[in-house]
Structure formats: structure tokens, C-alpha cells
Amino acid sequence: MQTNFTLTQLANADYRDSEAILRKCVHCGFCTATCPTYVLLGDELDSPRGRIYQIKDMLEKGGPPTEHQVKHVDRCLSCLSCMTTCPSGVNYMHLVDHARAHIEATHA
């Protein structure tokens, strides 16, 4: 996945790690079959793949996330079953943790 982080953002270790993780994702969709919220709700935005797009957008833009982004990140159960099926080795745990920290720090 292509990313567009600023040099200032990449000076931060969490952003550097998140950028490297985002670049590993090839959006194959294997994660969707093991994600309980996607299986239950059937909404792409409630799958790891959908959340990865939202997390990328949220982190690249900086500032407060939208209510829409917060809702879908919050729905993640952190079961990390997506990580067991990912052929690219995407460390989803770090991404969702970084997203939650960003939400906590910037969301009103």
C-alpha cells in the first residue's frame, strides 16, 4: 500500500512503524474470513482491511478522527485472528493500538 506521511510524522517512531506495516498490506482479504465483526456485520469497514484504510487516512491527515473512523476502530475486538491468516505478516496489533492512542489524544 502506498502511504503519504510527512517527514515530520516519520520522525516519530510510532508513525515510522505504522508506515512500514501499512506498506506490507496487499489487501488480499484473507483477514476478513477470520474477523468476527466483519463476519457478523458484513461491512468492509468493520474488517481489518477496511480499518487499515481508515487508520491510514486518519494517521496521514493527523488531527481529530471522524466519528465514522472512531466507530469502526472501536468495533475491533482486538482478537487479532486477522494476524494469524495474513500472508504478508501485517502487524495489525500495532496499527490498531496506534489508532486508538491517536483517537484518545485527539478525539473530543
Global pTM value: 0.92
pLDDT for position 108:
74
Question: Could you give the 3-state DSSP secondary structure of residue 63?
Answer: coil
Q: What string of pLDDT tens digits covers the 108 residues of the chain?
A: 999 999 999 999 999 999 999 999 999 999 999 999 999 999 999 999 999 999 999 999 999 999 999 999 999 999 999 999 999 999 999 999 999 999 999 987
Residue 70 to residue 86: CA distance in whole angstroms: 24
CA distance 92 to 69: 16
Which residues 6+ apart lie within 8 Å of 54 measured at CB? 45, 68, 69, 72, 73, 99
Helix (H) or strand (E) holding 30: none
State how far the alpha carbon of 89 is from the alpha carbons of 3, 66, 70, in Å.
Answer: 18, 28, 25
